[in-house]
Structure 1
């Protein structure tokens, strides 16, 4: 009987510890804020090089974040409510750069039907400040 009681107590302790250590899920706005910690905004640009950008993060209803080396380019579309990380972005660039006037539409990941269009804004570069880089 003691063994059973000890096992139940240990299980409760482990389960309780897991619940306490679980981190709350960040909202898209909070995720963007965290990504930009220690960074300073540069002069907005209308285009970025596609060959230099490696990662894209879609922050639902907020922004697109492109990574190019140590620089993050944040694009806040004119219609951010249409951004959904469950959708696939289909981008039809007019050249080797991604520009604010390029056609971007979203496609449902499972049904492959068009769910909307994204009107890109300017790309704002965020670079680490000298203090944050040290």
Structure 2
């Protein structure tokens, strides 16, 4: 008797679940209508513009009409679109080999570091 009560409750909960977007879908939306250019080792940044997370494997930097996308070698566990991105670098450029990690809002300790790869411009 107990299972007949629990199963309908589980079915009701899963029927209301919102479908989660796959990483490919999120990336495709960010790049919609843009064309890729030649990859570059570094991009110049200004303090007023920040890197944003597209998904756990892609970060982006927008400069004017160009969206620079960096595809990491593997998923970076701490990268989430809702988290603050921290770039460990030296200078006014963000380059291949620089490290990124993210911190959840209100967190004191940031997540693990991940190495950046080349930046691909999308215009």
Using the size of structure 2 for normalisation, the TM-score is 0.71
More strand per residue: 1
Alpha-carbon shift at residue 73 of structure 1 (Å): 0.6
Task: Note the residue ranges of structure 1 that are not aligned, 5 or more in a row.
Answer: 1-22, 128-134
Distance 1:55 1:62 in 2: 17
- The aligned length equals 105
Report the secondary structure of 1:80's partner residue: coil
The answer for the alignment partner of 1:72 in structure 2 is 67
Instruction: Establish whether residue 63 from structure 1 lines up as the match of residue 63 from structure 2.
Output: no
The answer for the alignment partner of 2:36 in structure 1 is 41
Alpha-carbon shift at residue 81 of structure 1 (Å): 3.5
User: Is the 1:53–1:66 contact (alpha carbons within 8 Å) kept by the matching residues of 2?
Assistant: no
The answer for the alignment partner of 1:88 in structure 2 is 84
Instruction: Establish whether residue 119 from structure 1 lines up as the match of residue 78 from structure 2.
Output: no
Superposed structure 1 runs of 4+ greater than 6 Å apart: none
Alpha-carbon shift at residue 111 of structure 1 (Å): 2.8
Distance 1:57 1:92 in 2: 15
Using the size of structure 1 for normalisation, the TM-score is 0.66
Task: Note the residue ranges of structure 2 that are not aligned, 5 or more in a row.
Answer: 1-17
User: Is the 1:53–1:67 contact (alpha carbons within 8 Å) kept by the matching residues of 2?
Assistant: no
